[in-house]
Structure 1
Amino acid sequence: ALKAFADACDVVTLEFENVPAAPLDAIADKLAPHPRALAIAQDRLAEKRFVRDLGGSPAPFHAVDSREDLLAGIDALGTPAILKTRRDGYDGKGQWRIGSRAEAEALDLPDAACILEGFVDFECEFSVILARRADGVIAFWESSENGHEGGILARSSLPGRAIIGEQVAEARDLAKAVADRLDYVGVLTLEFFASRNGPIFNEMAPRTHNSGHWTIEGAATSQFENQVRAICGLPLGDTRRVAPRVTMENVIGPAAATAHEALGDPSAHLHLYGKTDAPEGRKMGHITRLEWPEGERT
């Protein structure tokens, strides 16, 4: 059925990572990006090793398949540390904060392969989002400063702090190296911590990304349009920011009930995703604001 579907298409792409990578090998000639990008992004350990081998700096990590592995990781990385499942889990799910070796000894380990990550001392978080065509042409959007609450992206702001501007060239070099090594086609996102020692790689997503939703109104060409352009071999659109300040705030959980009130602000653009249930922590939509100094908007 998958092959028949692909045969009826000129090109097939991904909306999210929660699909099995192995069956996609059968349609790899039609799929953009290639399934190997998905396979790496689905495994936090493989992802960090891949980036490290390209010269990037991931947060310190240790593979965990047993209690002994966990304790060895705690001894090597110290505490506090974060235990994460290698697969699945997003928006803070599948993660456990460990504050001491005693907590590690008492933790009820998940029945899944894990990775232990050491804490990173950082000033802020940011994303590098690029679009790449099959011929290697790449376009970058400006990097947003990202704020998280409870492990969930709450807002993305542009321009970000000065430290992001100081580190974005190095982060882009790594993102380009990742894209080139994978012969990537489409939109690719890498998330970073801006630390005193330079950009620290956090994770990657082989798709359009929540921290790039600001581009719908805030950039000359959105990440979604350039995804289509990239996979169809069309020229990539202009990625410049179109307003002096752009902010994107996620509408999370019960906040969806009053999200329409944002439309009283003429700078606000509301997007609701049509989801019916609105439990705590579920992304229901987002609001993007384009802001100009008083009297300067044209």
Structure 2
Amino acid sequence: MPGDEHDGGVDGLDLHDGDARRDGTGEPEPLTAEHPRVGRDDGSQPGLPGRIVSQHSRDKANDRTKTGAFPVVRKRKPKALSSNARSLKARFGTGLLIAVLCALLAYAYVIQINNKDMTYETLTETELTRLISETSTQVERLEQRKSELTNQLKSLEDAADKEEQAQRIAQENEETSGILSGRLPAQGKGVVIRISRPQKAPIDAATMFNLIEELRNGGAEVIQIDNVRVVTSTYVSETSSGLVCDGQALATPYVIKAIGDPSNLANAVNIAGGVGSRLTVKYGANVTVETSDDVKITATQPVMKYKYATIVE
């Protein structure tokens, strides 16, 4: 009834009791995760939402904590085998396989001969024919495989020989080209020519260039004047201070080195009426020719860059 209502509540409910819920027997229900007990906010102890927020903050702090990082180990790439190593490896493998097949064939043949348990007398004509046919087929297959492996081995040997020969030829061509073009130093039999300071008149460029041509006609393979390597594009000019070869000034006494047959080169200079006689008679210079078995030419020329000439394809 309205008169039976109490202040601040309804009959049968205790609004101030938030510590427990009661079941039908009047006993308080046990607390579970689905029905937590909410404490009074009296400041004495934080409630469940506060504890959840605090735990969540601690979990975030732990997640941000840095741990050690494992080092990354990178796999190294295997070194590529050279062409010689690959050919040797293939050759060795093919030979080994041929040897194994031959050994297996011989072993099977010996086992078949020494097999005392097999009594061919008890086999029928059909079984004997089938056995002979199977054995012949196996022998033919092994012989065919042997022939294939032998051809492969021969092909590998020929390819290896051709590759080695091509490399050798390429190296020889590189050396020959380097010597002819003046890129590489050279040594060998030849002559060393020394021309003293002229007493009558300065030696002109035409006479010096004539000396170079006489040495080339005598079979000179490599020529050097003072510190200048003579090549196909070499020139000699005159200035007020003396001779210039490929932009470098020449000083007396002039020293010319040439590699070739020593006797032919000496005769090219000392021949009567030749360039040696002209240097002595006309210019008053003393010319000496010394033969040697070890003439070293160390001067080199940079690689010439061609503007118009190209290789014919």
Q: Shorter-chain TM-score: what band?
A: under 0.3
The higher-RCO structure (CA 8 Å, 6+ apart) is 2
Which structure has the highest strand share of the two? 1
Q: TM-score, normalised by structure 1?
A: 0.19
Which structure has the highest helix share of the two? 2
Larger radius of gyration: 2
